[in-house]
A and B are shown apart, each in its own frame.
Chain A
């Protein structure tokens, strides 16, 4: 059974600081997704990582995938308050585009 672990589960950071969220998974996969969820809202797709070494960047967020280490990272650069949300990684386990989600990282950026 695929396990997806995110850490930290809660992150409080100051505006302007950098930090990284980690997503480890327990079985082979080369497809990983990052989503954002605002409180009480649905999920918004951030990044799709489809191969070893894939790196995607959008604004202050950068995601990478190391399939050999079974690890993805979401790096936040110079955080701003608007980035406060819950961030989920999800791993595709194969047929049917089935996703297994991590528990999510709650990010709070303080002014």
Chain B
């Protein structure tokens, strides 16, 4: 089955710790995205990547970092610089930059601060 997987489902972060959220897709999509969702709010774009080895900041990139070394993988690191990391993180992918493709979402990772 084609799809997007995210792991872990729940993640706990201690103060000052960096944590990495995994996102893998087997849809052969070129574009991948990371969003943050806070309770009762819409999604906000953190980072996106249109092609391997290239990525751009979204609206709320501060305190986060990403890499795109493989087409199928787009991990997100929440650094200690992100002072309010508690949120639901969603990874998405789409075919590529045609400007009209649907983004397909993974199941999400819920990050909590200890």
Contact = CB atoms under 8 A, between A and B. Distances in A.
Given A42-B105, A43-B90, A97 B99 contact: yes
22 contacts: A4-B42, A31-B99, A33-B102, A33-B103, A42-B105, A42-B108, A43-B92, A45-B103, A45-B104, A88-B42, A90-B43, A95-B97, A97-B94, A97-B98, A97-B100, A98-B48, A99-B43, A100-B45, A102-B42, A103-B40, A104-B40, A104-B41
Given A50-B100, A92-B99, A43 B42 contact: no
A95 B42 CA distance: 21
Nearest to B4: A42
B106 interface: yes
A96 B48 contact: yes
Given A95-B97, A96-B48, A99-B45, A45 B102 contact: yes
Interface of B: 31, 40-45, 48, 50, 56, 58, 90, 92, 94, 97-108
A95 B104 CA distance: 18
Given A31-B100, A103-B42, A43 B48 contact: no
